[in-house]
Amino acid sequence: MKPAPFDYLAPTTIEETLDVLAEHGDEAKVLAGGQSLVPMLNFRLARPAVLVDINHVAGLDGIEVAADSLTLGAAVRQRALETRLPGQLPRPSAWGLLPEAVGYVGHQQIRARGTLGGSLAHADPAAELPAAVTALGATLCLRSADGQREVGPDEFFEGFFTTCLAPEELLVAIRVPAWPAGTGTSFLEVSRRRGDFAQVAVAAAITVADGRITRAGIALAGVAGGTVHARELEDGLVGQAPAAGTFAELAADYAATLDPPPDVHGPAEYRRALAAHLLERALTEATGRSSAAAA
């Protein structure tokens, strides 16, 4: 047995889970899909005294599609985003960015257990789902025994494997707002092999009305110590007419501001070049799809 000893709890209600987390505080760790936590336990990078398995908690794996929002329980499996969600979405829909992004997460065997909430709470800087929910401007619903709060991705993701979740807090749901008609999305990634974490990934949602970009949501993975919300690029796009030259210029300008960590696969400059290229392609693809969406 590789992990250090721990005690195991499998609560069945959200309230019970919150009580347990309140009682054990930072001695406890939530176990969702286990696809990141169990490797950390096996390496003994994490040594919680109590493991709180949320796989039996009722009401954490719902998928609710309403006119103005899509609400996903934190424990919705990544595989369900890929196989169950698409059939429930209106067409076209900006929410389609989620199934698109999740296809890049690991392999089918990983997605079968891994959850949406687990990926967000883990906050790997190269992870796809944090970028997708950031681009879509989702709201994360957190609960503790003391109450609940709702935060946006900018507040939730604090950096390198760090979120604003307190030890006694549980991420319970992710609410993604509907985007206006005329919105198109794109998710693009470069990785060394199929299923690897992103070297660079780009998530984009863009609304075009009357030939002008009226709204843009763009985020990147793999280019910094955390998920990057490309606010300057979004601001630069709003008001522009979609055009190849504009996209190339804005993408290159934005990528030049990034300072990605160098690694064995290449220097910072390589990731900047990937970011510029992927951003340009994502803007082109998203606006192309948005005109299809408006038609």
Ligand X SMILES: Cc1cc2nc3c(=O)[nH]c(=O)nc-3n(C[C@H](O)[C@H](O)[C@H](O)COP(=O)(O)OP(=O)(O)OC[C@H]3O[C@@H](n4cnc5c(N)ncnc54)[C@H](O)[C@@H]3O)c2cc1C
Q: How far apart are CA 49 and CA 4, in angstroms?
A: 9
Q: Does 86 bind other proteins (CB under 8 A)?
A: no
How far apart are CB 244 and ligand X at their closest, in Å?
30
How far apart are CB 120 and ligand X at their closest, in Å?
8
Per-position x/- string for 178-197, each x denoting binding to other proteins as judged by CB under 8 A, each - no binding: ---------------xxx--
Q: Does 161 bind other proteins (CB under 8 A)?
A: no
266 phi-psi bin (left φ>0, alpha ψ -120 to 50, beta other):
left
Q: Does 8 bind other proteins (CB under 8 A)?
A: yes
| Footprint on this chain of ligand X (rule: CB under 6 A) | 29-37, 74, 105-106, 110, 114-115, 117-119, 121-122, 124, 127-129, 165, 170-171, 196-197
How far apart are CB 130 and ligand X at their closest, in Å?
8
DSSP letters, 58-113, are: TTSS-EEE-SSEEEEETT-BHHHHHHTSGGGS-SS-GGGHHHHHHTTSS-HHHHTT
Single out the residue of 22, 63, 65, 110 in contact with other proteins (rule: CB under 8 A).
110
How far apart are CB 30 and ligand X at their closest, in Å?
4
Nearer to ligand X, 155 or 232 (CB): 155
Q: Does 153 bind other proteins (CB under 8 A)?
A: no
Q: Does 6 bind other proteins (CB under 8 A)?
A: yes
Stretch that binds other proteins, among 66-74, 107-115, 128-136, 257-265 (CB under 8 A): 107-115
Q: How far apart are CA 237 and CA 246, in angstroms?
A: 9
Nearer to ligand X, 185 or 207 (CB): 185
Within 13 Å, how many C-alpha atoms sit on residue 276's CB side? Answer: 18
Which residues, 32 to 71, sit near other proteins by CB under 8 A? 34-35, 38-39, 41-43, 50-51, 53, 55
Q: How far apart are CA 92 and CA 83, in angstroms?
A: 17
Q: How far apart are CA 31 and CA 189, in angstroms?
A: 28
Residues across the chain: 295
- Residue 48 binds: one of ligand X, other proteins, none (C-beta under 5 to 8 A by kind): none
- Residue 171 binds: one of ligand X, other proteins, none (C-beta under 5 to 8 A by kind): ligand X
- Residue 260 binds: one of other proteins, ligand X, none (C-beta under 5 to 8 A by kind): none
Q: How far apart are CA 189 and CA 128, in angstroms?
A: 9
Q: How far apart are CA 64 and CA 89, in angstroms?
A: 10
- Residue 262 phi, psi dihedral angles, 5° rounding: -75, 150
Cβ neighbours for 131, distance < 8 A, ≥ 6 positions apart = 101, 201, 202, 203, 219, 220, 221, 227, 228
Nearest CA-CA partner of 201 in 214, 215, 185, 190: 190
Question: Interface with other proteins by CB under 8 A: which residues?
Answer: 1-12, 16, 19-20, 34-35, 38-39, 41-43, 50-51, 53, 55, 79, 106-110, 112-113, 193-195
